Structure 1
Amino acid sequence: MRSWVSRPKVAFVCVHNSCRSQIAEALGRILACEVFESFSAGSETKLEINADAVRAVRALYGVDMTRTQRSKLLSEIPSVDIVVTMGCNVSCPMIPCRHHEDWRLEDPTGKDEQVLLALIEQIKANILSLKERIQQGKI
């Protein structure tokens, strides 16, 4: 069982930090803020967060990611305890941490709405699982 001094910091990491990792950061803040702090970052950035992701998260959760988040480089986030890579289909960026896991999520960019909505549901399930494992001291 881990003994955290404060809430652990979780980084959701992808190459461009524009869609999957941004959704995970937003859902982490919505669904698990009392258990862990959420950040997202990438080895590269995009000028804007994926518009389809912004629209879907706003519709489902009432949160406008363009007001609360931006695409960030790995160097722009604090040191973290847990790193979750999204499944980059290339070499995912790595940063030092106590625990790492890869969610192997498909990039929904350019795919239909149902793919995006299914991805958001999977991220939600993964966030809730991570939250529970942290609460139970399994991470």
Structure 2
Amino acid sequence: MKPKVAFICVHNSCRSQMAEAIGKLFALDVFDSYSAGTEIKPQINQDAVKIIKEIYGVDMNKKQYSKLITDIPEVDIVIKMGCNVNCPYLPCKYEEDWGLEDPTGKGDEEFRKIALKIEQKVKDLAERIKNNRMLI
């Protein structure tokens, strides 16, 4: 059975949503991806939607929505995006903080940089899980 990974931040509208989409794209065979937050926005950050569609051809508006941490199933791994304040708490077997800058309000180039960092980190996480280098 594949582990469940939750990408979390406060608003579940930008980085965590990007990570969910990228996780589903590059690590579907290794883990199930979810994203959530302690607050929700009426829609996903449209700059994030644009960049994910541009780079990966995935339309987050069609496949994802903003969710609270109580809206997702129990997870094995929690990845905090880098909240700079109090990140949400979610029980799990393993947790790490990726410490990513929030690109909200910045230009497309910042969103691209964050998307590519997330891709790299998702692939690394998948590799660690595949090689049993995680304590879950």
Unaligned runs of 5+ residues in structure 2 are: none
**2: distance between equivalents of 1:19 and 1:84?**
14
Structure 1: which 4+ aligned runs deviate by more than 4 Å?
Answer: none
Aligned residue number for residue 4 of structure 2: 9
Equivalent residue for 2:50? Answer: 55
Matched position secondary structure for 1:57: helix
Taking structure 1 as the reference length, the TM-score comes to 0.95
| Pairing 1:34-113 to 2, within 5 Å after superposition | 34-113=29-108
Q: Could you give the per-residue CA deviations for residues 1-59 of structure 1, whole angstroms, max 9, x where no partner exists?
A: xxxxx000000000000000000000000000000000000000000000000011111
Q: Which residue of 1 aligns with 2:126?
A: 131
SS in 1 for 2:96: strand
Q: In the TM superposition, what is the alpha-carbon distance from 1:94 to its structure 2 partner?
A: 1.0
Question: How large is the Cα RMSD of the aligned pairs?
Answer: 0.4
TM-score normalised by length of structure 2: 0.98
2:39 partner amino acid: E
Sequence identity (%):
53
Query: How many pairs does the alignment contain?
Result: 134
Unaligned runs of 5+ in 1: 1-5
